[in-house]
Amino acid sequence: MTEGESFRVDMHVKVLDQRVVERAKARGLDALVYAPHFERLPSVREAAARYSDDDLLVVPAREVFTGTWQNRKHLLALGLDDLVPDFIPLDAALDEFDRQDAAVLAPHPEFLNVSVSREDLAAYADRIDAVETYNPKHWPHHNQRAREIAAEFDLPSFTSSYAHLRTSVGEAWTEFDRALDSAGELVAALKEGVPRRIVRRSGWRHELRCAAEFAHLGWENSYEKIDRLFLSGTEPTHPDHIAYDDRFEGVY
């Protein structure tokens, strides 16, 4: 590694296409972590491979919704080999991640009804590899609280654009102090606590993009989406789906 080499990764995006890739490259990123909602791992891997090239690594991941829709606790897992569904208990998801030696991150802690809490981290801090301390959907006091939580449990930080909109990609990134050449090396860096910087853009354009992402929450949590994705019991990442071969029967 040459002196001054680093690795800039937007640690969590929900969107991926050629325009996203071009934007990421224009913003000087080395990698994106792609973790769309309610898509099983094989399709996420396929998309990540399709859009990766020598200039941008796309890392497949899963943001697993543990618990119920009304009180869901998100965990971001990198390095999975086997399928893990949504809506299983938090401890069951962590057991699966441990079994697969995945890197486990806590996005947007204590945020609304979609996050792990302080109490969860107190119970499971030794099984969490990093806490998100800046998220564009947060208000300033949310980010301050997230930094306090990471410090309280002596956990490394990460940040991401959490981009649900293409224009948000590259608004925030985690910069590791060394080059990383593969998804496996990124997983290892997270699990080993490799030093990193938390970096974000600023100015009125950044504030507008943050506001747009926060407004997107309204649509994301609309009744129509809940009805379409959750009331049928057959969405792709539901534990009852045939793809899971009854492995999680009785778990949730």
Check residue 201 and give its pLDDT: 85
* Percentage of the residues of the chain whose pLDDT score is greater than 90: 69
Mind listing the pLDDT tens digit for each residue in 178-205? 999 999 999 999 999 999 999 998 888 8
pLDDT at position 2: 39
Q: Which CATH architecture fits 7-244?
A: Alpha-Beta Barrel (3.20)
pLDDT at 247: 82
Q: For all residues of the chain together, what is the average pLDDT?
A: 89
Three-class SS state of 34: strand
Range with lowest mean pLDDT among 111-125, 157-171, 227-241? 227-241
- Kindly state the tokens that stand for 186: 């990124």
Neighbouring residues of 214: CB distance < 8 A, sequence distance ≥ 6: 136, 137, 139
User: pLDDT, tens digit, for every residue of 86-105?
Assistant: 999 999 999 999 999 999 99
- Write the pLDDT tens digit of every residue in 206-228: 788 767 777 666 556 554 455 55
Token representation of residue 180: 């990383």
The SS3 of residue 111 is: coil
Task: Say what the pTM is.
Answer: 0.90
Which one is predicted more confidently, 164 or 72?
Answer: 164
Q: Is the dihedral of CA 1, 20, 112, 73 positive or negative?
A: negative
pLDDT at 123 over 80: yes
- Residue 77: count of CB within 10 angstroms of its CB: 23
Please say if the pLDDT value at position 176 is more than 60.
yes
By the 8 A CB rule, do 152 and 120 touch?
no
Percent helix, strand and coil across the chain, each rounded to 5?
A: 35, 20, 40
At 27 the pLDDT is 95
